[in-house]
Amino acid sequence: MSKPDETREEALKRLDERASALSQRTQRPVSQHAGEQAVSQAYRIIAELIGGVLVGLAAGFIVDRVFGTTPWGLVGGVLLGFALSVHMARQTANRLMALAKQDSEPLPSVPFDDDEE
Domain residue ranges in the chain? 35-103
Report percent pLDDT > 90 for the chain.
44
In angstroms, the CA 52 to CA 38 distance is: 21
Beta carbons within 10 angstroms of residue 69's beta carbon: 14
Report percent pLDDT > 70 for the chain.
81
pTM higher than 0.75: no
pLDDT in tens, 9-59: 888 889 889 888 888 877 766 555 767 888 899 999 999 999 999 999 999
When comparing pLDDT for 113 and 7, which is higher? 7
